[in-house]
Amino acid sequence: MRAFRLVGPGRLALVDMEPPVATSGEVIVRVLACGLCGTDVHIKQSGHYGWDGGAITLGHEILGEADGRRVVVEPQLFCRSCRFCLSGRPNVCENLKHLGIGCDGGFQERLAIPKANLHDAPKVENWQAALVEPVAGCVAALKLAKIEDGMTLGIVGLGFFGQTIAQIARMRGASKIIGVDPSERRRRLAEECGAISRSYAPEDAIDRLADVAIDAAGSTTAPATALKLAEKAGTIVVFGYDRQPTTLNWYDILSKELTVVGCKSSAHAWPEALRLTPNLDLAPLVKTYPFERAEEAFADMERGDVLKPVLMFDG
């Protein structure tokens, strides 16, 4: 079985592996497509809180085939028995494992997956079906944002996540959506795609512009920009992350009486993501690559040339 593995810090390699063997409650999934996430790039470049530094197959945005069904894979493996799982908060499961982060993921030809983590794939092209997982992340962020009709939403970071959040927020009734990104190309694309009302470079962002601000950038400077955008009594949703520490003025949170919410995972968002994915215009954000060109896909994403690469295993 072929697998595209992270074999050391910054080192990727196409290798042969023994195929997985399904244990009780699992099924073998033949991977058809797998999206490349910013988290994969973070792990390759500098590690991740869930990675122990050993060789690993990355990839967690997975479409596959199992027992004759096209399926999408929910990559968070919850224990379903800790106090958080039992109280309806599996996102913070005490024993969480995550495909492509703490155990082997979807950049390989086959995986053994718990049956409970499989969902019937929507009837769309394979590359788009693979993106149900990141769409679920966007849905989770907007659930925490509690967008209502007529609200103004500010999005810091106009990569795949930021632009997808914008599309879903528009469907949910946001009247005005402001985007902030240092890249003129990303700002222009977001406006051309139609979900963004107006975009700004970070240095031009206006104070108190948004009822809700979502950090979808995952940079050390994005939290301060979100704090600037948020209106008094507003909400900030922390969706992106960077391993490096950032500095915030806590007085701004106090003086504006802001609510700051972390968004770690997407356990409760999958039904809506499965329904929404066919209705989203994701094609302008995506470029597909044959599985064998995975290294090229990583390089293009790291340079910022592509927002969402998807590796195709089925030609």
Q: What is the pLDDT of residues 82-126, one digit of tens each?
A: 999 999 999 999 999 999 988 999 999 999 999 999 999 999 999
- Please report the pLDDT score of residue 315 as a whole number: 47
Side chain identity at residue 224, one-letter code: A
Is residue 47 predicted with pLDDT exceeding 80? no
d(CA 40, CA 47): 9
89 HSE (CA, 13 A, CB side): 8
Higher pLDDT, 136 or 43: 136
Contacts by 51-56, CB closer than 8 A, 24 or more apart:
51/101, 51/102, 52/102, 53/9, 55/5, 55/6, 55/7, 55/8, 56/5, 56/6, 56/100, 56/101, 56/103, 56/104, 56/105
Contacts by 227-230, CB closer than 8 A, 24 or more apart:
227/252, 227/253, 227/258, 229/154, 229/156, 229/178, 229/180, 229/205, 230/154, 230/256, 230/258
Q: What tens digit of pLDDT does each residue of 250-277 get?
A: 999 999 999 999 998 888 899 999 999 9
Reported as a pLDDT band with limits 50, 70 and 90, residue 214 is very high
Distances (CA, A) of 13 to 29, 108, 286, 287, 302: 22, 12, 23, 21, 17
- Please report the pLDDT score of residue 236 as a whole number: 97
Pairing of strands 230-238, 210-215: parallel
Is residue 234 predicted with pLDDT exceeding 50? yes
Side chain identity at residue 300, one-letter code: D
What are the structural domains, with CATH classification, of the chain?
2-131+282-312 (3.90.180.10), 138-262 (3.40.50.720)
Instruction: Name the 3-class secondary structure at 291.
Output: helix
Residue 116 has φ and ψ, to the nearest 5°, of -65, -15
- Please report the pLDDT score of residue 95 as a whole number: 95
In this prediction the pTM is 0.94
